[in-house]
Structure 1
Amino acid sequence: MSGITHFGFFVVAVFLLNVTPGPDTAYIVGRSVAQGRRAGLMSALGISAGCCVHSLACAFGLTALLAASATAFTVIKFVGALYLVYLGVRLIFTKPDKRAEDAANSAASQMPATDRSLRQLFLQGFWTNVLNPKVVLFFVSFFPQFVVPGSDQKVVAFLTLGVVFVAMSTIWNSFVAWVAGSVTQRFSGKPALKRWLDRGVGTAFVGLGIRLATATR
């Protein structure tokens, strides 16, 4: 392909990266287990949309500029960490009766409320990915290895690699969400057990936020 080198190796590397558990996988599994398959799938799509932003930024050089700025790295790191902690605390302290009331209200208002809920899950997945500076560093260090130095088609090459990466990640993450979401169905008739499951997932989100906050370049 024009501007791309070792494309086959890129595909293999992306596959291995996807099947290796990481923060995105943990987030998708957490959402799927806590809220079901649809929540996990929308979270996966939100993360894929975030990867699209990183791919575009990488293609046009913005990612490299961001990675070179220690101040920008720190700001994004703490904003992303606080967002994850916020999501985790909500899961930990949201009362079961409040969730039941929200579900009833959603059913009463039919599709519009459902659309709002899914849109919110999509945006949450999107921001957890966009606000992760480690993803920025990954794109700026990984993608250039498969672009021919001095090529006149660098932008096209980066965008092509981005499309392949996003497509493969979306397929894998959707599969993970589907499998993990089946756990929720088993616990749907056991609210007490589901409550402890929510607390466990919320605690995991807080842990991810703390891990991100203490990450170094």
Structure 2
Amino acid sequence: MVPLSNVLAFALASAVLIAVPGPRVLFVVGRSLALGRRGGLLSVLGNALGELLQVAAVALGLGVVLAQSTVLFTVVKFAGAAYLVYLGVQAIRHRGGRAAASGPARSSSVRRVLQEAFIVGATNPKSVVFFVAVLPQFVDYPAGAIPLQLATLGAVFLLIALVSDSAWALAAGTARHWFARSPRRIAALGTTGGIMMVALGGTLALAGQAGELPAGK
């Protein structure tokens, strides 16, 4: 197992990194403005599940291959960027139709929002680079069980991210709920959320390799 001192040090480093608004926060805020608190929280969960897949890949050694392969990294980066742009365009197109979505979400809608956020999380190149570059620095190699230690540290990061992202989702979703009294204003918020996701997708697509990705998580 990971020594407690290593876990605490990693948790502190993760909290500092997560506190800096970046692509992850922009995605959560954009989704919350477009879909409301429920959609924002579901997006947080789906995004975390997608990044959990990345943690598993890193623990098994696959993350290093992706981060060091220019071709694979570029493919994942553009796939994630294109999907963000697609979600942004959809949010703008349906900004009016989702304005009154205040009742219980249908199971199909829940699955759709979770799936969309899962894909974004799983194809986030910045997370791959972070997990590959940072997680190994807090592993106690003489203790063995390296994959388990990497997975544990990844889980700690995702738990902190879940709390932080949920706070952003609730704040942005609450703002949307207040603006929902006016169909015109709520449509404008949906457009704003869509534009944020399109801009985020474009930023990720134009960024270079690992060292040039946007700052923050």
Q: Would you say same fold, with TM above 0.5? A: yes
Opposite residue 83 of structure 1, the aligned amino acid is Y
Deviation at 1:4, TM superposition (A): 7.5
Opposite residue 6 of structure 2, the aligned amino acid is H
Q: Contact 2:87–2:194 at 8 Å: present in 1 too? A: yes
Give the paired residue count. Answer: 209
Secondary structure class of the residue paired with 1:6: helix
2:195 pairs, out of 193, 199, 203, with 203
The equivalent of 1:172 in structure 2 is 164
The equivalent of 1:79 in structure 2 is 79
| Alignment TM-score, normalising by the size of structure 1 | 0.88
Deviation at 1:17, TM superposition (A): 1.5
Q: Point out the structure with max Rg over C-alpha.
A: 1
1:59-116 superposed Cα distances (whole Å, 9 cap, x missing partner): 11010011111110111111111101111111222262x447x95xx97xxx7x6111
Secondary structure class of the residue paired with 2:106: helix
1:135-178 superposed Cα distances (whole Å, 9 cap, x missing partner): 11111001011012454221111111122111111122112211
For the aligned residues, what is the CA RMSD? 2.1
1:22-59 superposed Cα distances (whole Å, 9 cap, x missing partner): 11111111111222111111000011101211111111
1:125 pairs, out of 112, 117, 125, with 117
The equivalent of 1:116 in structure 2 is 108
Secondary structure class of the residue paired with 2:181: coil
Are positions 1:156 and 2:148 aligned together? yes
Q: Contact 1:52–1:166 at 8 Å: present in 2 too? A: yes
Secondary structure class of the residue paired with 1:161: helix
Are positions 1:70 and 2:62 aligned together? no
Q: Contact 1:7–1:146 at 8 Å: present in 2 too? A: yes
| Alignment TM-score, normalising by the size of structure 2 | 0.88
The equivalent of 1:40 in structure 2 is 40
Change (3 A) 1:88 1:2: closer
The equivalent of 1:215 in structure 2 is 207
Q: Contact 1:77–1:131 at 8 Å: present in 2 too? A: yes
Dislocated runs of 4+, deviation >4 Å: 1-5
Identity %: 39
Opposite residue 38 of structure 1, the aligned amino acid is R
The equivalent of 2:138 in structure 1 is 146
Gaps of 5+ in 2: 210-217
Opposite residue 118 of structure 2, the aligned amino acid is F
Gaps of 5+ in 1: none
Partners of 1:59 and 1:151 in 2: CA distance: 15
Opposite residue 209 of structure 1, the aligned amino acid is G
